[in-house]
Structure 1
């Protein structure tokens, strides 16, 4: 079945290009801005720690732009933006939590309760460490969503710079 919406057409056009650079297509959003469209393509690492560096982002931007030129999935002029999810992305999938190990997170559970702490392990259970060093685990299937809390500074001991 052929993709019908602009987002579906863009996704079909650029997903192979993103995968070819070794990244994962996280999201595609197409919106109107006056006489043109804005096409936002969000890419991420498939799994594991770290982030997409600027060289790799440039590589995937070129690949996505070329794929868009060939497929022409958006009618009329458009502005293409290729980016990574950023720190405010909600954690909703296992790979999101695995990438957040080592960071402070706030979890919202299915019963509405929240848990907060440094994520030290992510698998079938998410293990959080409190400021006092105690740990608590939450079954991953009981977590509705999580968010990474931005830390403006950490001590040298916490960063591993002794």
Structure 2
């Protein structure tokens, strides 16, 4: 048990030293997990940004993380990690993580979400307009305003074969463009 709490503290220290350098790239640190893997450890760092994470973002984040963790300064990651070797994995936040901050809601606007409220009510609806206090949730055509303080848990739902007005508009635009090119 002592080892686990020490690992938690280490993950917290690593997150602490990475927040500012990754923020300079426009990236948010969403999670830091340090798990044993034989004689090594796996350091998994989830990052996210507005507009979605790109491979270039992951590459830039990896370089910054490597540099910070190699630093031997007073708050450097090398001291946070100790002497054990580790494997670094930089990943996206992932849809399986609960929406816990206003930015999570903003970045998932338009997606279907299952929300468990503090009063034991569960709703499934589409994320609409949102701000720092709450979100408008479209539940079967009826919009309901929910304060984040009332949300116990919220998970984005995976949708297959979703038809969106945006996709239809894009298709129309593509058709118009093709017609113009044909002329």
Which residue number corresponds to residue 42 of structure 1? 46
Taking the aligned partners of 1:14 and 1:93, their CA distance within structure 2 comes to 19
For 1:145, which of 134, 140, 153 is the aligned residue?
A: 153
SS in 2 for 1:88: coil
Mean Cα deviation higher: 23-32 or 8-17? 8-17
* 2:36 equivalent to 1:28: no
Q: Gaps (5+ residues) in structure 2?
A: 1-5, 173-183
* 2:144 equivalent to 1:136: yes
* 2:64 equivalent to 1:56: no
**C-alpha distance after superposition, 1:135-155 (max 9, x if no partner):** 222233211121111111222
* 2:48 equivalent to 1:19: no
Q: How does 1:106-125 map to 2 (within 5 A)?
A: 106-123=114-131, 124-125=133-134
SS in 2 for 1:91: coil
For 2:95, which of 87, 102, 127 is the aligned residue?
A: 87
Which residue number corresponds to residue 67 of structure 2? 66
TM-score (norm 1): 0.85
Q: CA deviation at 1:158?
A: 5.2
Which residue number corresponds to residue 78 of structure 1? 86
SS in 2 for 1:31: strand
Q: CA deviation at 1:21?
A: 1.4
Number of aligned positions between the proteins: 155
Q: CA deviation at 1:156?
A: 5.4
Larger Rg: 2
CA RMSD of aligned residues (A): 1.9
Query: Which structure shows the bigger proportion of residues in helix conformation?
Result: 2
User: In the alignment, is the contact (CA less than 8 A) between 1:104 and 1:116 conserved in 2?
Assistant: yes
Q: Gaps (5+ residues) in structure 1?
A: none
**RCO higher in structure (CA 8 A, sep ≥6):** 1
User: In the alignment, is the contact (CA less than 8 A) between 1:116 and 1:130 conserved in 2?
Assistant: yes
TM-score (norm 2): 0.76
Structure 1 consecutive aligned stretches of length 4 or more whose deviation exceeds 3 Å? none
Which residue number corresponds to residue 157 of structure 1? 165
